[in-house]
Amino acid sequence: MTRKKISAGKIIIALLALLWLVIAGAPFYFMVISAFKEQFEILTTGVFSIPKGFYMDNFAGVIKSQFYKYLLNSTFVVIVSLVLILVTALCAAYPFSRFKFKLNKPLFGLVVAAMAVPIHVTLIPIFQLTQKIHLYDTIYALIGPYTAFNLPISVFILTSFMAEIPKELEESAEIDGCGKYRTFFHIIAPLSKAGLATLAIYNAVNMWNEFSFALVLTQSAKSRTLPLSIWDFQGQYNSNVPMIMAVLTFCALPMIAAFAIGQDKLIKGMMAGAVKG
């Protein structure tokens, strides 16, 4: 009887997983196959039908456009912002998780409260600030907001992650003559790699797809990022759906590659600290 229940449970889980795969994969499948169709082929054939021929002019048109500028801008902004986020979160999470001082809980409460600040409330002040410091319409204008808005949740997650690292490791290091700095760089930081990898992928996806700040703080093509390239292409090729799908495919590829490369570290980071003892 128990085996039958287990078998039935596994079948239900497998069916649910298959259903979720279909729901999540259908839009991606539509995007990719549509990118290989001609402009009016998508209107004369089924939505999910295979293209009559692999029409590569859509991708060629995207490459010949200013798409590469958007790609370089997004890559630069994401990498710089990500380094700042991870370094700052690592340095902030260490004292929050390992030290006891009077302002620990109030300061950590401010970090948690900062997670609730909506982006749209700050658009006008940040716009005015970037104009005053002469960063408006530059890719550098995006680095500050991206770092600031992704930092609180990064500190919160990394603090919880570091709190699960056994204190005995630090005590052993102190007995061997390690100070706080050496303990941080040689023990805590290396053991936090899984958490940092999780934050890196999570924040990179958010910044890669961010639209509001990129729209408000940049104006010319030389400073805009990939989400705005989709917006520009949609306005330019409004009736050419396959061309827009080609742009979307190009935009999605870097994040898909990041997930494929770092999926094992992402899973380890998400599962780390889930079980105590």
Confidence of residue 81 (pLDDT cuts 50, 70, 90): very high
Q: Quick one: 260 and 194 in the same domain?
A: yes
Residue 128, judged by CB atoms within 10 A of its CB (0-12, 13-18, 19+), counts as: exposed
pLDDT of residue 273: 46
Q: Where are the beta strands (DSSP E) in the chain?
A: none
Within a domain: 3: no
Lowest mean pLDDT among 4-18, 27-41, 127-141: 4-18
Which pLDDT value is given to residue 3? 53
Residue percentage of the chain with pLDDT more than 90? 29
Q: What is the pLDDT of residue 80?
A: 96
pLDDT band at 272 (very low <50, low <70, confident <90, very high): low
| Residue 88 predicted with pLDDT over 50 | yes
Position 266 in a domain: yes
Same domain, 37 and 89: no
Helix, strand, or coil (residue 35)? helix
Please tell me whether residues 192 and 269 are part of one structural domain: yes
pTM above 0.85, yes or no: no
Q: What is the pLDDT of residue 275?
A: 45
Whether 35 is covered by a domain: the verdict is yes
Q: How far is CA 176 from CA 95, 139, 172, 182, in A?
A: 21, 47, 6, 11
121: containing domain: 61-275
- Cα end-to-end distance, the chain, whole Å: 33
* Winning range, highest mean pLDDT, from 47-56, 63-72, 124-133, 247-256: 124-133
Statement: residue 118 has pLDDT above 70: yes
Confidence check: pLDDT of 108 > 70: yes
pLDDT band at 50 (very low <50, low <70, confident <90, very high): confident
Given a contact cutoff of 8 angstroms between Cβ atoms, the answer to whether 191 and 165 are in contact is yes
Q: Is 170 part of a structural domain of the chain?
A: yes
- pLDDT 10s digits, 51-80: 877 788 888 888 887 788 888 999 999 999
Residues 166 and 257 in one domain: yes
Task: Give the count of domains, the chain.
Answer: 2
SS3 label, residue 137: coil
The span from the CA of 1 to the CA of 161, in Å, is 41
197 band by pLDDT with thresholds 50, 70 and 90: confident
Mean of all residue pLDDT scores within the chain: 84
Between 39 and 117, where is the model more confident? 117
